Amino acid sequence: MKRFIYGILISLIMINVSIADYNTPGTGRNWNLDSLVANSAGAVTFTGGFYSVNANITVQPSDTLKVLNNSIVKFFTATLLEIRGVLIIRPQDSVVFTAIDTSLKWTGIRLDTSNASVIKKLNMLYANSIRLYGSNPVIDSCKFINNNYYTSSLASGTVYLYGSNPVITNCLFTGGYRAAINSGANIPSSPTITGCIFRDNNVSNYNTPQINMGAGGTQPIIIRGNTFMRASTNSGAIAFLPVGTIPSLIIENNIIKNNRFGIAILAGGVNAYINNNVIDSCNIQGSPSLGGSGLNFAGAWSTSSVICTRNKVRWNLWGVTIQNTAKPNLGNLSTPDTTDVGLNLFYGNGNTGVTYDMYNNTPDSIKAENNYWNTTNLDSIEAHIFHKPDNPALGVIDFLPIAGPSGIIINPVVANNYEFLDIYPNPFNPEVSVRFRIANDGMTKIKVYDLLGREVYTIANEFLKAGEYERNWLSKGLPSSVYIVRLETTGNSYAKRIAIVK
């Protein structure tokens, strides 16, 4: 009897192996699972309440595969569903794509130049990936679970992008082999990723984040309103290492907790707006020499513009780390651009018993004005920042003025070894007092600019000794508006916004 059963199993395996792959004829026809059963000569079968895919299936250009009913589809080991035409998955409740044997997984789905595809309510399990080549599908309300089949010839991410701009919304990614979503470093892709949950990915514990991207295309990359929870100890949340550029990147309204790091921009040529994210407890690896930053900026920057505003960065091994020639903008009140107003909250970040809310490991000055540091005591803030006062070879972090918890600018008197610019009252009409301190003898200029960058008045232009001074300015003749007052001393520049209200 045992020999008989064993012989049946061998026969079944040989039947699967011997079944030929099936290609639809490419005649502009709409296909469904039942028509594949009827025409594929055993490549797709139906028995026991589910469909079995026993060989590779290719939907040719001009053909469409539609799965519009609740279905369970089980794939034979290493089989692939390749779409060169259109794939529409849109059931009432759900469609399940899984492996016939969960220990012998299937390859997944490949979309090749498939721009009209829509994948909704798909539960995809025990595969390698969805690979997108020159394709821009909508992927919505799907669950990608335990897609951890991997060989060197397959994709390492659950959704792999190659020159593709998908819209991925309201999906769950969990148990993936490495990244949940990744792309090639030098092939531009611009996904929109919103409302998704990323949890427990990178089961291989490789050094990779849950979203791992390279170059961007002409449309913006948008990562908005997602939740990134703990994966393996080597997993960050979001990273970009492009070979090329990212013309436009928006990362906002995300919750990032218990990852190895939060957000990392690791090369130049990136124009990014990082806004209103909560990034906390990125400390799961536990080694400050290997990670743990809430925000990390590194690489060779020359043309980048990265603005960080309204983020909460707390309880990480490092708050913000800046390396190589990176130069992010964490708040600059001297520009008319209202997107770089600071208003970030930095607190509770640190390791080895030392607080590191911001660490500038570059020779350049960094703007970090109008942020809240969980205190209004400037000595405490200075103690939590590592920059030029701690190492003369490093650039200074310009963190004045600071903001309070509600975002109101606070301009307290500072220690004598700091330069500062203080303006009172603000708003004003028509006269204002400008107090300032300079650290070194030299030429001192205080000029007023409108929001178009045009100089409208010079308050001071003179040689001054180190010390504290006050000048009054009568703004007669200027209309009600917001203006920029800039203090320029030897090697330093400080600016504040003021408002004339008549």
CB atoms within 10 A of CB 130: 31
Report d(CA 20, CA 40) in Å as an integer: 9
Structure tokens at 385: 């920042």
Which stretches in the chain have pLDDT values below 50? 1-15, 411-417
Q: Give 405's contacts (C-beta < 8 A, 6+ positions apart).
A: 345, 372
CA distances from residue 96 to 67, 122, 123, 180 in whole angstroms, order as listed: 11, 6, 5, 19
Q: Give 422's contacts (C-beta < 8 A, 6+ positions apart).
A: 411, 413, 434, 435, 436
Strand partners, 347: 314
In this prediction the pTM is: 0.80
Report d(CA 351, CA 213) in Å as an integer: 28
Instruction: For residue 96, give the nearest of 75, 131, 122 by alpha carbon.
Output: 122
- Can you list the positions of beta strands (E) in 310-430? 312-314, 318-322, 345-347, 350-351, 354-355, 358-360, 366-367, 385-386, 397-398, 402-403, 409-410, 420-424
Report d(CA 12, CA 142) in Å as an integer: 32
Structure tokens at 279: 């990034």
CA distances from residue 196 to 81, 162, 439 in whole angstroms, order as listed: 24, 21, 50
Instruction: Report which residue type is found at 10.
Output: I
Is the CB of residue 339 less than 8 Å from the CB of residue 328?
no
- Whether the ω angle into residue 392 lies within 30 degrees of 0, i.e. cis, is no
Instruction: For residue 368, give the nearest of 345, 394, 339, 397 by alpha carbon.
Output: 397
Residue 192's SS3 state is: strand
pLDDT digits (tens, 9 = 90+) for 155-186: 999 999 999 999 999 999 999 999 999 999 99
To the nearest 10°, report the CA torsion of 83, 85, 89, 95: -30
Report d(CA 395, CA 360) in Å as an integer: 7
Eight-class DSSP state of 34: H
Report d(CA 481, CA 366) in Å as an integer: 28
At residue 40, the pLDDT reads 97
Q: What is the largest CA-CA distance in the chain?
A: 105
Structure tokens at 397: 């972090």
Instruction: For residue 97, give the nearest of 80, 121, 118, 72 by alpha carbon.
Output: 72
Is the CB of residue 444 less than 8 Å from the CB of residue 464?
yes
- φ and ψ at residue 70, rounded to 5 degrees: -55, 125
Task: Give 265's Cβ-side CA count (13 Å radius).
Answer: 30
The length of the chain, given as a count of residues: 502
- The radius of gyration of the chain from alpha carbons, rounded to an integer in Å, stands at 29
Structure tokens at 420: 């500062």
- Write the DSSP string, 89-155: E--SS-EEEEESBTTB---EEEEES--S-EEESEEEESS-EEEEES---EEES-EEE------TTS-
At residue 378, the pLDDT reads 83
CATH superfamily of 418-500: Macroglobulin (MG2) domain (2.60.40.1930)
Chain centroid to CA 363:
26
